[in-house]
Amino acid sequence: MDIKELKKNLFQQKKNAYQLMSDEDIAKCNQFCEGYKSFLNQAKTEREAVKFAIKTAEKFGYVPFVKGMSLKSGDKVYYNNRDKAIIFAVIGKEDISRGVKICASHIDSPRLDLKQNPLYEDNEIALFKTHYYGGIKKYQWTTIPLSLHGVIVKRDGSKVEVNIGEDESDPVFCVTDLLIHLATDQMQKNLSKAIEGEKLNILIGSQPLKSEEGSDLVKLNIMKLLNEKYGIVEDDFMSAEIEAVPAFKAKDIGFDRSMIGSYGHDDRVCAYPSMMACMDTNTPNKTSIVILTDKEETGSDGNTGLCSSYLKYFIYDLAGCFGVDGRTVLSNSECLSADVNAGFDPTYPDVADKKNFAFLNYGVVVTKFTGSRGKSGTSDASAEFVGKVHNLLRDNDVIFQTGELGKVDAGGGGTVAMYIANLDVDTIDVGVPVLCMHAPFEVVAKTDVYMAYKAFYVFMND
């Protein structure tokens, strides 16, 4: 008996993507990642991602969806949900009643949001109060350069956009931390207590207006500058959404440039590949739908998150254009919930069950279930659908692996998969492994990003 041959035939064979890809494919992968980095730098918030997506889609011939419009195969439409989430659809050749192919990713990322009354002065230093958004390790958000992005709705109803800290010539902002010399007490605290939410105040100024008397002259100077630039008064902050995000740009990591470090990989690293896969799809068999959603990081609630009915309404309205019942479409549909999973970090091996963890450069991760505490909070895809997706990837030379978010009792997390599965859609998580997820600077491997693009493309064009 040839033991070597038997092992090859019977055991699982895993290989690093760089051992499997041709030089030509690696070149294509690197080129794709240049586009991805540019997206990362231009779309740091959900609003900026939607804006980027619309601009891109219009170049590819997409037009706004209108309820009741007449549609035929090959037509491309998009639905903009309040400038914070977007859906694309390419009409397929098959009757829509046979179902659609959905890829759903999210474009919101953990960050610091300004409170509704953010501005104050303390000992002639001006600061903004914040309330963090999503799951963060608070200490990671101190002493890094931050930029401010968002919108302010003024008393007259007009809206101004804010984007400051991204241009090389712009000032940036930051959250301070206590100097080590005086941190004896702080250093005794555990990581979740060492920096508390109320201490995530952003430094924004220190120059008082010249005056013989009066208090709050630094704050007044800041308000004067903001009034000159944006025409706002302090009350206008109450109707603003301003997000503080890391001001640094996406960069290649490593001497070999094989990885990308950036803010917001979770989940732009699935949003960009799924959007580009949709852009590159022309007249698929089944109608393809790509969703870039908001509010995933806070539990998907709200009218721009996937717990709301906006996806269902869109599919009902799309089905209506063909005189088809919306629920028939949903029940026959399939979805890749395109979100990240944890990548194995050699510095922190203890949280991983290595047999069931995702590794960098081993391809896109297919995750049958997420959740925590005994598979709570997950849709858990059926073996039949898992097998179908695996075979589709195998048949099209898409490098993939399976992964589970850490050891059974180490923690856990969820995605939008269950909200779409709850609409009676076959759904599974497919995404990119990430190191230091939810940190201001997250890391992914380029080959995994490219395999995500290929996976979404073959799914939409199946």
The residue ranges that bind Mn ion (CB under 5 A) are 266-267, 339
Query: Strands (DSSP E) along 297-398, which ranges?
Result: 334-337, 341-342, 364-367
- Cβ(273)–Cβ(456) below 8 Å: yes
CA distance linking residue 263 with residue 439, whole number of Å: 7
Q: How far is the CB of 266 from Mn ion (least distance, A)?
A: 4
Q: How far is the CB of 138 from Mn ion (least distance, A)?
A: 16
> In terms of CB distance, is 386 or 437 closer to Mn ion?
437
> In terms of CB distance, is 320 or 377 closer to Mn ion?
377
> In terms of CB distance, is 243 or 267 closer to Mn ion?
267
* Nearest C-alpha neighbor of 124 from the set 221, 212, 196, 200: 221
Name the burial class of residue 204, with classes exposed (0-12), middle (13-18) and buried (19+) by CB atoms within 10 angstroms of its CB. buried
Q: How far is the CB of 433 from Mn ion (least distance, A)?
A: 12
> In terms of CB distance, is 267 or 294 closer to Mn ion?
267
Strands 100-106 and 334-337: parallel
Q: How far is the CB of 372 from Mn ion (least distance, A)?
A: 14
CA distance linking residue 319 with residue 141, whole number of Å: 45
Q: How far is the CB of 267 from Mn ion (least distance, A)?
A: 4
> In terms of CB distance, is 269 or 460 closer to Mn ion?
269
Q: Nearest 5 degrees, angle CA 232-CA 150-CA 201?
A: 85
Q: How far is the CB of 286 from Mn ion (least distance, A)?
A: 25
Burial call 229-247: b when 16+ CB within 10 Å, e when fewer? ebebeeebbeebbbbbbbb
CB atoms within 10 A of CB 196: 10
> In terms of CB distance, is 287 or 367 closer to Mn ion?
367
> In terms of CB distance, is 48 or 266 closer to Mn ion?
266
Contact residues for 206 (Cβ-Cβ < 8 A; gap 6+)? 124, 125, 126, 218
The SS3 of residue 423 is: coil
Residue closest to Mn ion when measured from CB atoms: 267
How close are the terminal C-alpha atoms of the chain, in Å? Answer: 41
